[in-house]
Amino acid sequence: MKSKKVNWLFLVIILVHIAVVMLLNWAGDRINFGIITNLLMSQAIIIVPAFLFLLPMERRFNEALGFHKIRISTCFMIVLFTLLVMPLVTVLNALSLFFTDNTIAAMQDDIVGVPFGVIWFLIGVYGPFCEEFVFRGILYSGYKRTGKIIGAVLLSALAFGLMHMNFNQALYAFAIGVLLAMLVEVTGSLWASVFCHMIFNSLQVCLMFFSGWLVDTFYGGSMPQTEISNVELMAAMSVYLVIAAVTTPMAICVLAWMAKNENRVEIIRNLRTRKEEQEEYLISIPLIVGIMLCLGIISIEFIIG
């Protein structure tokens, strides 16, 4: 799929999101979805337009998106890579908390109220697959056709971050998007980013349920509400910043090992010189409109919050 069509897909996803939100706001109490329906709907907003855009393509989805096999040893290294980049993600999350609330933490009560297996599948499996299918599978591969690899990585990550429609998640989702695109390149397979994303989300789900168990066990189901001060947040961020300074370079080394393990070292070296569609541009009007709409919604949410 060419970059211009990819940009149209991004704009359509944003417009569908806005339409759904407006419909739910108009309906008010007449439509009251639970957390399960909300999670299913949030992913359907991105995956349904993506499938519709892919239907006219003659090639199979697997060939178009890059669902190629990877070595078992690479899978183990993806687990290590995920653990190594988590401190960096934590730092970026903490940085955003100086200006806004933790979006995921605000949903914790609803999440832990659902059976673990159900919520793990929705957040840890279904969500990552849908998002990787769209943002690394379609958007990134479409942008990469221009031959501008760095721009493709950054632009697909930006779209991934803005898609979350809140400042808190947008910041660290952008960083995750960059890392996942790099993972796709060093392994040559979309399954690598899907697996990494699933591990990351699954760990978050486990952490929420574990913290919920601690509250039930030691606080009788009612945790004292204490607001974290900026001083405490800064102290926590400083600790994770030191950890991230050590683990992030290690994660880059793991990426290099995976590239060698998957025999893609020469391919990675030649990425800068490859020009598949030189007449194609990364940025077009639909992308600009989509980005402006996202920034407008995020700004409104930030001001209201």
Complete DSSP assignment for 16-29: HHHHHHHHHHHHGG
Tens of pLDDT along 283-303? 899 999 999 999 999 888 878
Q: What pLDDT is recorded for position 213?
A: 63
Q: What is the DSSP letter of 30?
A: G
Q: Yes or no: say if 298 and 169 are a contact pair by the CB < 8 Å rule.
A: no
- Which residues touch 192 (CB under 8 Å, ≥6 apart)? 70, 74, 78, 183, 184, 186, 258
Residue 60: band (very low, low, confident or very high) from pLDDT cuts 50, 70, 90: low
Q: What pLDDT is recorded for position 303?
A: 81
For the chain, give the mean pLDDT: 87
Q: What pLDDT is recorded for position 87?
A: 95
Helix 149-163 vs helix 285-304: angle between axes, to the nearest 10 degrees? 40
pLDDT (mean) for 265-288: 77
Residue owning tokens 């379609």 = 138
Number of residues assigned to the chain? 305
